[in-house]
Chain A
Amino acid sequence: MSLIDFIKQPWPWYVAGPLIGLTVPTLLIIGNKTFGISSSLRHICAACLPGKIPFFNYDWKKEVWNLFFVGGILLGGFIAFLFLQNPEPMIVNPNLSSELATYGITNYDSLVPTEVFNWSSLFTLRGFIMMVVGGFLVGFGTRYAGGCTSGHAIMGLSTLQWPSLVATISFMVGGFIMANLLLPFILKL
């Protein structure tokens, strides 16, 4: 097996998790930056549409490193897609695939279910709720909570901040409610 073929396989959690954890000291050591991604959304607001809102009137240019960081993530996703893509469909828990089949989701070739996340379903009720309303909740919720999975669950817990533990538990509770109680109804739409 060549190195590229080796890389192309899905990476196990015990490789990916520690590497994500190492981002924390890497960003601190190369420039005293605390890991956090949702802030980039705030910087984009501050740069593009600050209005007369105090929350967006700050020197966003000082935080421009964060925009370079997310630009890198975008490019990294593109490189992985072009050169390192796993040729096999994703293997998921059979209980999940049989449940999703009842909503017409059977394609596991992409990272997102293409039956839901595509341009034409954007104008259906199901697609609108999942992409537009979902995205709004991600942006509004992370800023309200003061961080996302990177800022609170990884960086916050790494520095033993108890408010971050509260936030992380809230993220999980919200996720359990959506996935188990609300999403079945949304997927049926």
Chain B
Amino acid sequence: MEQHKNIAEDELVVEQKHHEFLTENTDFEMRSLDATCFNESELQHPWWHNFKYAFVGLLFGILFVKAEVVSWFRIQEMFRLQSFHMYGIIGSAVVVGIISVWLIKKFKIKTIYGEPIEFVDKKFNKGQIYGGLLFGLGWAVTGACPGPLFAQIGSGATVITVTLLSAIAGTWVYGKFREQLPH
């Protein structure tokens, strides 16, 4: 009986902590510019827990190479409307993503640690247009978005390390001049 009560209390603590994070954090505008910085877990884990993300990434890298998502040629075909391949991949990924998120919301599915999964709305700013256009130019010329850059290097195109370093430099320059840019 006593034990049951404790478990219930513990769950309550986790629940409250998470909501506290969502209500008290007022930095969403800054954070929403970054795709990963919101909806994060409040739990503390030892560092080696990160290997589970490395494993998902590993499967993802194999997938990227085998489906030729990281192929410069497939990207050219996409932007020349010469192949359905990339449209099929992005389209079906989005459909599966929408269904998954809908199921998570509908059945209030929690993480394996029992944390609730919540979503934060993205705010519109003009950077999504200006930055989006600039990224599109880069995507078509390099044949890679950020994820495929890593997979291309892994699959033997070592010179893409330079492209990756340049992308990091681009991110840094954006951060440096962020205040002066129209948003």
Contact = CB atoms under 8 A, between A and B. Distances in A.
Contact of B60 (A23, A41, A152, A186): A23
Contacts of A81: 65, 154-156
B165 A146 contact: no
B141 A134 contact: yes
A72 B57 contact: yes
Contacts of B140: 174-179, 183
Contact of A140 (B54, B97, B170): B170
Nearest to B83: A93
Contacts of A141: 131-138, 170
B62 interface: yes
Interface residues of B, number: 127
B35 A146 contact: yes
Interface string B29-58: 000111111111100010101111111111
A167 to B, nearest CB: 4
Contacts of A133: 141, 166
B147 to A, nearest CB: 4
Contacts of A171: 132, 135-136, 139
Interface in A118-169: 118-119, 122, 129-164, 166-169
Interface of B: 32-41, 45, 47, 49-80, 82-98, 100-101, 103-104, 109, 111-113, 115, 117, 119, 121-125, 127-147, 149-160, 162-176, 178, 181
12 contacts: A20-B60, A21-B94, A33-B39, A36-B36, A63-B36, A95-B80, A95-B82, A96-B76, A110-B156, A138-B167, A149-B90, A153-B90
